[in-house]
Copies of this chain bind each other. A is one copy, B any other.
C-alpha cells in the first residue's frame, strides 16, 4: 500500500501525463502497465469522458484530462501541505531550510553544525549552497535561500541580520614563520613577506582593496587565487603569509598549524561575519531553530579559536 491519500488512479494519470505513455509511467512508478491502463480506463468511465488521446507513440491529455490532472496535482499539493501542517501542529521539528554559507566555512564550523543538526533535529533537512556574500544576499532577497552565514554583508533594507561578530583584521602564518611569534604586526612589516591573496571574487580581497589598495601595486610578492585551499596551502608552506580571518583558518588555528597575528594599523578595520535572513518575511520556527544552531556554532568556533590564542 502506498501511503498517499490521492487515489492511485489520479496518481497514475498524472504520471502518464508527465511521461507521455503508460509504459514509461509504469517504469517510473514501478507498477505494471496494465494496472495503470486499467485505472485510467476506470477513471474515464467514472468521469464519462476520455482523459487521454491515444496516439501512436503513447497518450496525450485531452482538455478534460488536463483538468483532471490539474486537480490531481492540486490534491497532491494539498496532501503535502496538510502533512506539513499536521507535523507543525504536533510540535515536531520538521522542515526544509536552505542555507548559503561560504567556502571558508566548509572546513570550519559547517560540518560540526550539520552534524549537530542531524543529531538534534533529524527531521529538518538542510540544503547548503556555497557562495559569495553577494550571491548570498541575492539568494535571500530572491527567496531561494532562507538563511545566510556570510562575511562583510553590507547593510540592506531587505535583509535582516540576526547575529554578527567582528573578525579582527590580521594575517595567518605557518607556526614556524617569523611573523608567527608576534603578538601583532604592522601592515607595512607584514607586506615585507610574500603574500598569498584571495582574488577579487572573494569578499576579503575587496575589503583589502578598499582599505589597502597599495598592497596591489606592482612589485609586491603576491600570489592571487580564488581558492582558499590554495591560499592555505601556500601559507602552510611557511613561505607566504595569508591575509584572512580567524574564522577562515579556524581548523588550522585550533590544531596549531597556523597562527593568527592581528594587524594593528588604525585603518585595519575588522571584517564581520553574520547570520542573515530575508527581512521582509518572518522566519519560520524551523528556520529560527536552524539559525540558532548555526549562530551558536560560529560563536563557539570563534571562542575556541580565541581561547587557543590566549
Contacts from A to B (Cβ < 8 Å): 3, 5, 7, 9-10, 43, 46-49, 63-64, 67-68, 71, 74-75, 78-79, 82-83, 85-87, 89-90, 92
Contact = CB atoms under 8 A, between A and B. Distances in A.
Contacts of A47: 82-83, 86
5 contacts: A3-B46, A5-B9, A5-B43, A67-B86, A74-B78
B78 A5 contact: no
Pairs of residues from A and B, 8 with the lowest C-beta to C-beta distance, nearest first: A3-B46, A64-B86, A49-B86, A71-B82, A64-B89, A71-B78, A49-B90, A67-B85
Contacts of A71: 78-79, 82
Q: A43, A63, A82: which has the most chain B beta carbons within 10 Å? A: A82
A43 B1 CA distance: 12
A5 B87 CA distance: 26
Contacts of A43: 5
A213 B79 CA distance: 68
A71 B76 CA distance: 11
Given A5-B7, A9-B5, A46-B5, A67 B89 contact: yes
A270 to B, nearest CB: 47
A94 to B, nearest CB: 10
Contacts of A7: 5, 7
Nearest to A72: B5
Contacts of A92: 48
Copies in the complex: 2
Contact of A49 (B3, B49, B75, B89): B89
A85 B65 CA distance: 11
B48 A68 contact: no
A67 B82 CA distance: 7
Contacts of A67: 82, 85-86, 89
Nearest to A42: B1
A8 to B, nearest CB: 10
A14 to B, nearest CB: 13
A18 to B, nearest CB: 19
Nearest to A6: B7
A82 B10 CA distance: 13
A303 to B, nearest CB: 38
Contacts of A89: 49, 63-64, 67
B86 A48 contact: yes
Contacts of A86: 47-49, 64, 67-68
A46 to B, nearest CB: 5
A43 B83 CA distance: 12
A50 to B, nearest CB: 10
A223 to B, nearest CB: 55
Contacts of A78: 71, 74-75
Nearest to A50: B90
Contacts of A74: 78
A47 B94 CA distance: 14
